[in-house]
Amino acid sequence: MLGDVRGSAALKAAASCSTSNRQHKGAYEIIMNTISLRKIELENCSPIPTMDESRLNRFWDEQLARHEERPLEVTIAGEDTPYPGMKVNKVTYKGFDETSVHAWHIAPVQAETNAPCVVTFPGYTMDRGFPERYAHYLLLGWHVLAVDVRGQSGETGSLLPLDSGIARGWITQGIMEAERSYYMAVTIDAVRAVKVAAGLPGVDAKRIATAGGSQGGGLAFISGALSPLVAAVAADIPNLCRMDYGVLHSTSSLTEVAQYIKRYPDRLEAVLSSLAHFDMLNLAPRLKVPVMVSVGWKDTVCMPETIYAAYNRVQSPKEIRDYPFSGHEVSEHQKREAVVFLQKHLG
């Protein structure tokens, strides 16, 4: 882990491109290696937001109010498990549209009344998996709501219309209109998942966290910015950060957007405007709760220049974990770091 490097002298050192990493100021000497300089560079990554904040807030306040009144239509059914220490239910609720979103509600058999709950989301093309994937949270006595993402590898389908063409994959569905896009659908699905968690038996509605990696980290991030029910966010290597940069440089799902624009170059500005509504670079100031973010400096999917750009605009209590030699991955070390962070804020 890296310590913080601060101060004007450090910034001057970061600006220097000479072969020497030594700078002298009288008798005072600063010695920094390339990793320290890279840290300073990322800490000062501050691109201009791609959407006006007041306009963005009006947009989301209207969208959230529209969906707040819609019934969740939650159903809960018991699920067999070979593990005697956990109780598993299959939960279904209505998401953005009439699509039924599927999730696991997993709890320790001996769970306390009013225990914390972690709402988790999977990475792109993945699903919620088997309940035992979340055993580390059960060992803390917590509940888990593990949620599918519509249309991907889980049981959840998608009723979104396909009336503006798509590139291979999911994320360009409806991309010309933010209100009807795939990103809107999965975002509202995630926000409503938090509301479902708040109503589950045994869950303390004041101690709900969102968590995930990559796509899951992005959904944890954005639902924390949009749902008043979220108490903490653990977003590992999150997407949905500085999305215009990602469309140009990333090897991630955003290559689907690049492919779409390649086919329809005249739609570039409309597509980027739509994406701006879901970009954590723009939404970060809405966060009011503690946030932990992790970043791999060799990540070509969710690149550090995207994650730091959003993280640097978060104004609530925040922590970041740097992994200079990691790519697009969440290590066991970071998995434990996230648990310790959530323990601190959920109790």
pLDDT mean across residues, the chain: 91
Report the DSSP pairing between strands 75-79 and 100-108.
unpaired
Per-residue pLDDT band for 161 (boundaries 50, 70, 90) equals: confident
Query: Residue 167's pLDDT is what?
Result: 87
Query: Residue 168's pLDDT is what?
Result: 87
Q: What is the mean pLDDT of the segment spanning 283-310?
A: 98
User: What is the per-residue pLDDT across 205-222, written as a single tens digit (0 to 9) for each?
Assistant: 999 999 999 999 999 999
> Of 160-164, 210-214, 270-274, 305-309, where does mean pLDDT reach its minimum?
160-164
Contact call for residues 339 and 140 (beta carbons, < 8 A)? yes
| Bridge partners of residue 104, in order along the sequence | 90, 146
With pLDDT > 70 as the criterion, what percentage of the chain qualifies?
91
Contact call for residues 240 and 123 (beta carbons, < 8 A)? no
DSSP letter, residue 109: T
Query: Residue 18's pLDDT is what?
Result: 37
Per-residue pLDDT band for 9 (boundaries 50, 70, 90) equals: very low
Query: How far, in whole angstroms, is CA 198 from its chain's centroid?
Result: 19
With pLDDT > 90 as the criterion, what percentage of the chain qualifies?
86
Q: Is the pLDDT of residue 46 over 80?
A: yes
328 among known catalytic residues: yes
Selection from 99, 328, 289, 125 nearest residue 208 by Cα: 289
Q: Residue 33: how many CB atoms within 10 A of its CB?
A: 9
Q: Is the pLDDT of residue 5 over 90?
A: no
Q: What is the mean pLDDT of the segment spanning 147-175?
A: 91
- The strands making up 291-296's β-sheet, listed across from edge to edge, are 75-79, 86-94, 100-108, 143-147, 115-121, 203-213, 232-236, 291-296, 318-323
299 among known catalytic residues: yes
Rounded to whole angstroms, how far apart are CA atoms 91 and 79? 10
Of 67, 136, 249, 328, which one is the catalytic site residue? 328
Of 36, 158, 214, 250, which one is the catalytic site residue? 214
User: What is the per-residue pLDDT across 54-103, written as a single tens digit (0 to 9) for each?
Assistant: 999 999 999 999 999 899 999 999 999 999 999 999 999 999 999 999 99
Q: Residue 5: how many CB atoms within 10 A of its CB?
A: 18
Instruction: Confirm whether residue 124 is marked as ligand binding.
Output: yes
**CATH superfamily entry for domain 52-346:** Alpha/Beta hydrolase fold, catalytic domain (3.40.50.1820)
Selection from 75, 83, 130 nearest residue 101 by Cα: 75
The domain segmentation of the chain, as residue ranges, is: 1-44, 52-346
Torsion of CA 120, 277, 330, 338, to 10 degrees: -60
Query: Residue 29's pLDDT is what?
Result: 60
Contact call for residues 313 and 281 (beta carbons, < 8 A)? yes
Rounded to whole angstroms, how far apart are CA atoms 207 and 117? 7
Q: What is the mean pLDDT of the segment spanning 306-310?
A: 98
Rounded to whole angstroms, how far apart are CA atoms 210 and 146? 10
How open is the CA angle 6-9-11, to the nearest 5 degrees?
65
Q: What is the mean pLDDT of the segment spanning 295-315?
A: 98
Query: Residue 7's pLDDT is what?
Result: 41
User: What is the per-residue pLDDT across 89-148, written as a single tens digit (0 to 9) for each?
Assistant: 999 999 999 999 999 999 999 878 899 999 999 999 999 999 999 999 999 999 999 999
User: What is the per-residue pLDDT across 177-207, written as a single tens digit (0 to 9) for each?
Assistant: 999 999 999 999 999 999 999 999 999 999 9
Q: Residue 127: how many CB atoms within 10 A of its CB?
A: 17
Helix axes 215-226, 182-198, angle to 10 degrees: 70
Q: Which helix (H) or strand (E) holds 54?
A: helix 53-68
Of 204, 299, 322, 326, which one is the catalytic site residue? 299
Q: What is the mean pLDDT of the segment spanning 232-255?
A: 96
